[in-house]
Chains A and B, each alone.
Chain A
Amino acid sequence: MTDQSRTDRSTTGRSTTDKTMTPDEVVARLRSGMTVGIGGWGARRKPMALVRALLRSDVTDLTVVSYGGPDVGLLAAAGKIRKLVAAFVTLDSIPLEPHFRAARQQGAFELEEVDEAMFMWGLHAAANRLPFLPVRAGIGSDVMRVNPRLRTVTSPYEDGETFVAMPALRLDAALVHVNRADRRGNGQYLGPDPYFDDLFCEAADAAYVSCERLVDGFGSDVVPQSLLVRRHAVTGVVETPNGAHFTSCVPDHDRDEAFQKMYATTPWPEFAERFLPPDGDEKQYQSAVQAWHEEQK
């Protein structure tokens, strides 16, 4: 639905692997019932423009795998989650996510509640094509009680210790947001923490990377460690300026605390009507946000 124009580099001979697409083109590749991993952490560097495109689509019945923030809250409010795999859901500066809470208290979806480290090792297992990885976490806690499918594994060495065998968190699709990306799918983060975005991409059959700004290359003075996401693990690239809004994406933009506060205190139908109308798009959303800020002055 967007009128975003782009150059098809395949006709120029400079590249045959232009992976750029629009948010709606990404969502067109997703199917109801899929397992979708969402990068970032809490209310930090979430691929919100892609989540918003998902919210406007008919895709539903999702298994969402996330270090949860407003991505989970929005998808829960819209009734798109069948099952959530998470260790927490938070807005950081607002500890409890209101839509996630309401959905849980209504028993709206199934929850696979695991520990943060179990979650990480589940992604590692998936990225490494292993069925599980052992982790010293979970045993002794009620994570075992509420996840009766979890199994333990005993060390084959002389220590004989018992660990949780954290199953691979294999994903049908991953959505992540970074500061910069090129058309081939190489992604760069410029903030303090990579979170687990590279792992999400490697754990997925198809990964879609949105970015604040598309670049032709990273230059000779690039900080090597900032090149987090490698193109072999990426299916599509989307340029979405301010696309992590209202989560933080430093140094491009901080969390929009005023907007987040409004999001957390506004009834969902009212919020959705204004900011996520079915006939809207990302451009409409960004204009609506700007208009809202004008009203607050």
Chain B
Amino acid sequence: MTPTTAGPTTGTTTGTTAGTTRAEYCVIACADAWRGDGEVLASPMGLIPAAGARLARRTFSPDLLLTDGEAMLVGPDGAAEGWLPYRQHLAMVTGGKRHVMMGASQLDRFGNQNISCIGDWARPDRQLLGVRGAPVNTLNNPVSYWVPRHSPRVFVEKVDMISGVGYDSAAAAGPSATRYHRIPRVVTNLAVLDFETPGHAMRLASVHPGVTVEEVQAATGFPLALPEGGEVPFTREPTPEELRLIREVIDPKGTREREVPSA
């Protein structure tokens, strides 16, 4: 199960980081979600977001707080530096000192997210987790999303049960909902998306090297806005040091390659 080091199907990689896998671009794109966040809790859900948070903590966002997934705050080496049981975690959410990257079973054009159930809520076709903390998260601290398999089943015109609140729903609910509402980015196995448009409709911010704009659009159940000028950049390259940290320090077993296999 050694991770492949074969390069992506494009010639855009630089000499120093040639052989960067799709999973590694995803780690970089997740890490960048926490860039400039300062002294807040990075709450990643998923292997690749967790690697991204740890990379950000070790490099450009050294003030980030990380948890061990239970109740302890830990440094990059895993040593405890604080205590964060669920009750205080929930208080940290409403205090705003947190940036979470959640998963999404469905996500729509304005960032409404569903992790509760598929189909009619009263008697669902597929019961999933439940809304969990998505309603409180989205109204109180920045919420980004991670989608390891970008498809029209996830990116839908309308979600079945709004768990995480999107821009249009927050606006409709009024100033108490919009006051601290922000969705910085959505990272998928294909691309980075954001809501940097006048009406907060989802925009294709970058495609990972090896992916085309057409592929992303085809995997999305609604039309995506494009950056001004219509030119979609590639997701940035990792620095050689970032790549070393990912491969040798943060995820030496290559679990990232199982979450997003290379094509």
Which residues on A are within 8 Å of B, measured CB to CB? 41, 68, 86-90, 95-96, 100-101, 104-107, 113-118, 120, 135-143, 145-146, 161-163, 192-196
A142 touches B140 (CB 8 A): no
Q: How long is the Cα–Cα vector from A139 to B175 in the complex, in angstroms? A: 11
For residue B85, CB closer than 8 A to chain A, the reply is yes
Contacts of A107 in B (CB 8 A): 122-123
B135 touches A118 (CB 8 A): yes
For residue B28, CB closer than 8 A to chain A, the reply is no
A41 touches B86 (CB 8 A): yes
Q: How long is the Cα–Cα vector from A101 to B140 in the complex, in angstroms? A: 29
Set B72, B121, B135, B179: member contacting A137, Cβ < 8 A: B135
10 other contacts beyond A100-B127, A118-B136, with CB at 8 A cut-off?
A88-B129, A88-B132, A89-B129, A116-B90, A118-B135, A139-B177, A141-B134, A141-B165, A142-B163, A192-B83
30 intermolecular pairs with C-beta atoms under 8 Å apart:
A87-B133, A88-B129, A89-B129, A96-B129, A100-B127, A101-B126, A101-B127, A104-B123, A104-B127, A114-B131, A115-B132, A115-B136, A117-B135, A118-B135, A136-B94, A137-B139, A140-B138, A140-B165, A140-B169, A140-B170, A140-B173, A141-B138, A142-B121, A142-B131, A142-B161, A161-B176, A192-B70, A192-B71, A192-B83, A193-B86
A140 touches B127 (CB 8 A): no
Q: How long is the Cα–Cα vector from A195 to B85 in the complex, in angstroms? A: 7
Which residues on B are within 8 Å of A, measured CB to CB? 70-72, 83, 85-87, 90, 93-94, 116-117, 121-136, 138-140, 161-165, 169-170, 172-177, 179-181
Q: How long is the Cα–Cα vector from A195 to B180 in the complex, in angstroms? A: 27
Contacts of B139 in A (CB 8 A): 136-137, 139-140
Number of A-B contacts (CB under 8 A): 131
